[in-house]
Amino acid sequence: MLFSSLTFIGFFLPIVLFLYFIIPQRTYRNAILLIASLLFYMWGEPKFVFLIMASVLFNYAMGILIARKPLKTLLLLAVSVDIGVLFIFKYLGFSCMIVNHLITFLHLNLVAVVDLALPIGISFYTFQQITYLVDVYRNPQLVQRNILNLGLYIVFFPQLIAGPIVRYHDIRLQIAERRESLDGVCLGFQRFIIGLAKKVLIANNMALVCDTIYAADFFSYGPAAAWIAAIAYTLQIFYDFSGYSDMAIGLAKIFGFNLLENFNYPYAAHSVTDFWRRWHISLTNFFRDYVYIPLGGNRCGERRTAANRGIVFFLTGLWHGAAFNFILWGLLHGAAMTVERALKLDDIKNKIGRQLYRIATLLAIIMLWVLFRNGTMSGLHLWQKMLGFNSLHHGVATNLWLFFVDCKFYIILAVAVLFAFPWWRGIKINTEAALSSILSVLKGAALIFLLLLCMANLANGTYNPFIYFRF
């Protein structure tokens, strides 16, 4: 079940809200959320609900054991099992393929490639389980002895399938002691509607054009269409991913939870390093705190720092998908950050130079998204086309790209580019009582209009892809 579906908006969410708020007792409210979360997951992945329930039971038991005896051996065992489950479902087939490539040279029998269905959200909830175990190891008093509360932390439906990754110590107290309020409900619905509009009105329209162009014969379009597709995907993945994060944060707010922000205008970054301070913040922070710093961070010299960064970005790429293009995408980001550090490009003082490097950074990010979206070889061929090479196309089909886009697309494209940058933060508004009331009414009317527009688009069966299956 997707947040951007009529089933969720018109059926699932209203029922959960009704049952949740008619029950005053915290324990029962948590039970309602846990049951709702399992039903939410079962809607799309019924056979894997037993896997996630088994994960909850395992991590609950290991958490208690680690709290009693905080031994590194127990922690490594528990984390290894969690990562092992993730490996089996997400990376075993990929690993078999790599082994087959290697043993072909030795003329040995090939290994049977295992092709398992990927449970949705397994990367997100696996990392949350790891944060719980590490937090308990570091501070045994944090152990959760109520299995329902731990289950709610792991399978909480607003952030179960698309994040953000919530760390246990950030939300532990909220599970038992949070307070719902009318203001929180209103703010939560506002954030949810904004996220829904990002997904339905912007991301889906970007996806339609991007997917149409990339699905066409490679030689039927030229550099212009390739750039349109690249820019469309750059905006699609941002508005899709940040839109889901907004919806998750808004839904959590309705139920009294305060989740941390996951995006901060990443395309306004002045460097690749700054991009990763703004993009998928919860993932960046996870790898920083649980991989980069334990490896030594930047405290062991330039070579060791570069190696640590390479490991982190190798894992970052691999986390996004079991394919070479994701690994290469991650490593190239890591390499760019290493070059920036060596040449001090992240701290350019000259204003003109800083703006030029900001543009260069954005172009590099766009090019890397092409690799991310299309695979290694296809991505490299598209790079050549975008740069004017390998752009031969067949006669009359040269201008086929004109049929992929229309006026509506360019209007949405302009809106998408406009709101991808925080230009509005510099606007100062006189907040007198009368004006404030008028603005509040206008804001409410705009949100209702956006919600109705999203509902109308969903009712019409508009293109609504889900890009998180690989995660």
Catalytic residues: 320
Q: How far apart are CA 120 and CA 2, in angstroms?
A: 11
DSSP state string for 386-449: HTTSS----GGGGGGGGGG--HHHHHHHHHHHHTTS-GGGG------HHHHHHHHHHHHHHHHH
Please give the radius of gyration of the chain, using alpha carbons only, rounded to the nearest integer: 24
Residue 268, CA distances (Å) to 20, 277, 377 in order = 39, 11, 29
- Cis before 70? omega within 30: no
Residue 429 in contact with residue 439, Cβ under 8 Å? yes
Q: How far apart are CA 372 and CA 331, in angstroms?
A: 12
DSSP state string for 145-205: --HHHHHHHHH-GGGTTT-PPPPHHHHHHHHHH----HHHHHHHHHHHHHHHHIIIIIIHH
Calculate the CA 430 to chain-centre distance.
36
DSSP state string for 76-118: HHHHHHHHHHHHHHHTHHHHHHHHHHHHHTTTPPPPPPP-PPP
Q: Is 342 helix (H, G, I), strand (E, B) or coil?
A: helix
Neighbours of 16 (CB within 10 A): 22
Residue 398 in contact with residue 350, Cβ under 8 Å? no
Question: Among all chains, which residue has been given the structure tokens 């959760």?
Answer: 144
DSSP state string for 263-289: -S-GGG-SSHHHHHHHSSHHHHHHHII
DSSP state string for 228-268: HHHHHHHHHHHHHHHHHHHHHHHHHHHTT--PPP--S-GGG
Calculate the CA 368 to chain-centre distance.
16
Least Cα distance to 202 among 412, 3, 408, 405 occurs for: 412
Q: Is 216 helix (H, G, I), strand (E, B) or coil?
A: coil
